[in-house]
Structure 1
């Protein structure tokens, strides 16, 4: 597509790469204006869980659109939001009693950070240090960038970013160093530790153990440091369970959810918090209220989609589909793991990843060639540098899945 005035995200327009025009989508496939059927192997940036155009979600949006499209949420409410809040309370850990709506994964993280700092301020305790994990990514707004890895993603904005304490990533055989560093930082009186549970997404699909996650939670609790789980990508079955935290047997103080919250159909996010965090902001003093909102907080159309998604989780065997997809992917991954130039093949739930050639980071010269290869072969895969990952919708059939991994195997020859 040429002649467009659109400035696309994470796109270097100076390279002149083609930008296909997608006109519709169904299930695990996208259809372009030039007649191509493109397999969506990354759930359109990790959001589409049940598949594109899911009938129950589409019907819920259409029904809601005929009744209420938008309403201010400061001091007002509506039934779709109430339904979503009740549904989340029923399916999420009991300790997470409060549901705060926002618009995206980045804003759910911003909300979490503000909740944590407001909690300590309103208690009259001078804690403001935030702890993060090396290689992490939590979004592209200022607070979210501040708690992410300092790299090419945010180098231009360094003057805007606040200082944080960084804990090393628990690579295999090095988890104790991570835990020791966290213990030391917590002992010094940190306000909160934010982490992507079990797998770091944009940081390269780096996986660590549930035991390590559980021990990090224990350390934070022992030092009264708030534990924030950023499950924007990892929730809704991606790691094999509803929440990644389940696999470690832990419950965070604050939980960030987005992406699959609506089945990926429309933008919506929530930040869930425990009762003490809410109570620290609840007062007859208006200056202690939680100062955060946006014009579209808890938009009724988005909430209707989320309510339909929650109904799908209650009434359909979603986790059976997740387990089936995960098993089929592991079979496909095993077939390419031993190929030349393929290394560090790994899987967690419905996520698989491999690295090609030598490490090159996000700006690896291999990345544009891989992106072009997959685009030219009717496949939506967006490599992270020289890391290729697959994260399909749960509805993907055997034929499309086999074709995805066949193309990944072909791409290994580019390294």
Structure 2
């Protein structure tokens, strides 16, 4: 198929996510991906600086992952997971439990981050219902993002995504992200919100709020918030869809806190970007509230592709990669490299602020702009013209490079960021 034929068919039939098609340019036609790079149909190459929305953490077509799926597809590619089980799921459960916080005991499978959150919220509501309590309120952090299904949207605080649907949401109360300055006020607010004993769960993104432009917070403050909720019998839900599997420097961001969540939501890098898969994990305490002679007290939620053997096989292989010495060493290399380069960007006239956490580096530009406006599109195009794929969040430029990124590739990324900032300062950037 030629590029023109592809573009014509795409324009005729395909509705892309997060896109206003009346004003958007034609989508870039990608022909293949290899290692840390994307290749388009015009022959141009792009470094994947955000690991394709934080999924391809081990690079594209990683041979360990592709071999795992090739081996599995000849034996068992799918089977109903209600009333059946299989070795890939059992092997994955053993490996995943081995790296999760030690209070996590049970795994519930689905297909994407939004569904993993939806499941956690439903589990929390029914947990209390099964115990004879009606708790119908969820507490979430301001500016959090948890997905696009209705429960996940309800818990999210970014109205740019949610505006037309807010009349249909579940009851969600929001609290500020805890900081050194506001911690006592946040704890007081939690006391007020939980007075009537109607709060079922608290959902949060640990350490980094991704869609909120990679806003970061300290583990010691969040840990006190978790302690407060758990003392009040409120189930805590760590949304680690973005932060999980090494990106914050920990296997899971929840490891940074003494108080561990009651439930965790996992997806994205779970399979290294090879297969759609998600898992909601929980403690034995949560599971036991559903374990009963009465059928209706069970958790009657199911997805057709739950526990897909191909996804399980590749996720197990991805965990082997994550825990390997080579990947762990490179995560630390990228983490330390980001920290060193923060000083370079902090003093730049075009920068408002800069921060990093693990392999995540975020730069706020000293410019006012809309999240999805024309200026953002011009920044996006500037980097694409320089062979780098990233997606600015308003005035925030961030990178989440694959764990397989070399020191030389990192330096090229840093250099491109600096060139861009220099052009801003010299007024060469067209959008200024």
TM-score (norm 1): 0.96
Give the whole-Å Cα distance in 2 for the aligned partners of 1:244 and 1:361.
Answer: 30
Of 75, 79, 83, the match for 2:87 = 79
Aligned to 2:100: 92
> C-alpha offsets along residues 76-115 of structure 1, whole Å, 9 cap, x if unaligned?
1111111111111222122211111110111100010011
The Cα of 1:359 is off from its aligned counterpart by 4.1
Aligned to 1:256: 265
Secondary structure of the equivalent of 2:160?
coil
Report matched runs for 1:223-302 at 5 Å.
223-302=232-311
Report matched runs for 1:312-351 at 5 Å.
312-351=321-360
Aligned to 1:399: 408
Give the whole-Å Cα distance in 1 for the aligned partners of 2:191 and 2:327.
Answer: 38
Give the whole-Å Cα distance in 2 for the aligned partners of 1:36 and 1:46.
Answer: 22
Give the whole-Å Cα distance in 1 for the aligned partners of 2:285 and 2:178.
Answer: 30
Secondary structure of the equivalent of 1:86?
helix
> C-alpha offsets along residues 304-329 of structure 1, whole Å, 9 cap, x if unaligned?
10011122234444322111011122
Aligned to 1:27: 35
Answer whether contact 1:168 1:177 (CA < 8 A) is retained: no
Distance 1:16 1:214, change over 3 A: closer
Answer whether contact 2:369 2:376 (CA < 8 A) is retained: no
Answer whether contact 2:351 2:363 (CA < 8 A) is retained: yes
Secondary structure of the equivalent of 1:13?
coil
Greater alpha carbon shift after TM alignment, 378-387 vs 85-94: 85-94
Distance 1:13 1:375, change over 3 A: farther
Of 311, 314, 317, the match for 2:320 = 311
Answer whether contact 1:322 1:394 (CA < 8 A) is retained: yes
Of 130, 146, 159, the match for 1:151 = 159
Give the whole-Å Cα distance in 1 for the aligned partners of 2:334 and 2:38.
Answer: 19
Of 384, 390, 408, the match for 2:393 = 384
The Cα of 1:135 is off from its aligned counterpart by 0.3
The Cα of 1:17 is off from its aligned counterpart by 1.4
Distance 1:205 1:176, change over 3 A: farther
Of 383, 397, 403, the match for 1:374 = 383
Give the whole-Å Cα distance in 2 for the aligned partners of 1:251 and 1:69.
Answer: 35
Secondary structure of the equivalent of 1:15?
coil
Report matched runs for 1:105-124 at 5 Å.
105-124=113-132
> C-alpha offsets along residues 204-238 of structure 1, whole Å, 9 cap, x if unaligned?
11111111111011101111111110011111111
Secondary structure of the equivalent of 1:9?
coil
Give the whole-Å Cα distance in 2 for the aligned partners of 1:359 and 1:177.
Answer: 30
Give the whole-Å Cα distance in 2 for the aligned partners of 1:71 and 1:270.
Answer: 17
> C-alpha offsets along residues 128-179 of structure 1, whole Å, 9 cap, x if unaligned?
2100000000011111000001411110122222221110123563333333
Give the whole-Å Cα distance in 2 for the aligned partners of 1:151 and 1:254.
Answer: 25
The Cα of 1:277 is off from its aligned counterpart by 1.1
Aligned to 1:208: 217
Secondary structure of the equivalent of 2:78?
coil
Secondary structure of the equivalent of 2:223?
helix
Greater alpha carbon shift after TM alignment, 48-57 vs 382-391: 48-57
Secondary structure of the equivalent of 2:146?
coil
The Cα of 1:67 is off from its aligned counterpart by 0.9
Answer whether contact 2:180 2:221 (CA < 8 A) is retained: no
Secondary structure of the equivalent of 2:75?
coil
Aligned to 2:191: 183
- Ranges in structure 1 where 5+ consecutive residues have no aligned partner: none
Give the whole-Å Cα distance in 2 for the aligned partners of 1:75 and 1:29.
Answer: 41
The Cα of 1:365 is off from its aligned counterpart by 4.3
Answer whether contact 2:380 2:392 (CA < 8 A) is retained: yes
The Cα of 1:364 is off from its aligned counterpart by 4.6
The Cα of 1:361 is off from its aligned counterpart by 4.9
Answer whether contact 1:41 1:390 (CA < 8 A) is retained: yes
Answer whether contact 1:332 1:402 (CA < 8 A) is retained: no
Give the whole-Å Cα distance in 1 for the aligned partners of 2:364 and 2:323.
Answer: 37
Distance 1:250 1:292, change over 3 A: same
Aligned to 2:70: 62
> C-alpha offsets along residues 182-210 of structure 1, whole Å, 9 cap, x if unaligned?
23223432111000001100011111111
- Across the aligned residues of Structure 1 and Structure 2, the Cα RMSD in angstroms comes to 1.6
Counting matched residue pairs gives 415
